[in-house]
Amino acid sequence: MTDTAAETLSVVVEREVAYPPEKIWRALTQPHLIEEWLMKNDFKPVVDHRFNLRGDWGTVDCQVRTIELNKMLSYTWDALGLKSIVTWTLTPTSAGTNLRMEQSGFRQDQQQAYQGAGYGWQRFFATLEQVLARID
């Protein structure tokens, strides 16, 4: 929490998956498959294409930034005031694929705005109540 205002925050999830990159690529880029593991969508593997991901709780606005077949996919991810970029990297390994997801591009000062504007106090307090109930 001591990050400077200019610093980028990011989330990285990385897993060794027992399938070849080509197969994972299909799951990442075909709308009916994306829907099965992520959300309903109108994704197209075309640079600059704008699409939405639609969940029960709302919509994520996205735009495709980079596509490298079977290797790398990147799109913007804007939701609840959070402006970020999601980048998928697929690296073949002897056992399958190293699949890496990084969500980044979000600085500490923007995070403040995100908390204030998008989040909604009611939701925050509801969550807090739940957490507190679990602690006791």
Partner 1 sequence: MRRRDLEQVQSPKLIVTPEPHDVLFRVLADPTRRALFEQLCRKGEQTVGALTARAGVSQPAVSKHLGVLKQAGLVRDRQNGRQTHYSAQLGALAPLIDWTSQMASFWQNRFDQLEDLLKRMDQ
Q: Which residues bind partner 1 (CB under 8 A)?
A: 1, 9-11, 13, 15, 17, 19, 23-24, 26-27, 33, 36-38, 82, 99, 101, 103, 106, 111-112, 114-116, 119, 121, 124-125, 128, 131-132, 135
* Closest distance of CB 128 from partner 1, Å: 6
φ, ψ of residue 26 to 5 degrees: the values are: -60, -45
* Closest distance of CB 63 from partner 1, Å: 18
Judged by CB, which is closer to partner 1: 63, or 108?
108
CA distances (Å), 12 to each of 43, 51, 52, 62, 70, in order?
Answer: 22, 23, 22, 19, 19
Judged by CB, which is closer to partner 1: 2, or 94?
2
φ, ψ of residue 107 to 5 degrees: the values are: -95, 165
Q: Which two tokens stand for residue 114?
A: 């995100």
Judged by CB, which is closer to partner 1: 64, or 97?
97
Judged by CB, which is closer to partner 1: 63, or 103?
103
Which residue type sits at 73? L
Judged by CB, which is closer to partner 1: 2, or 48?
2
- The sign of the dihedral angle between the CA atoms of 61, 63, 65, 68 is positive
* Closest distance of CB 39 from partner 1, Å: 9
* Closest distance of CB 43 from partner 1, Å: 14
* Closest distance of CB 83 from partner 1, Å: 11
CA distances (Å), 54 to each of 4, 9, 21, 103, in order?
Answer: 33, 24, 26, 18
Cβ contact 63:49 at 8 Å: yes
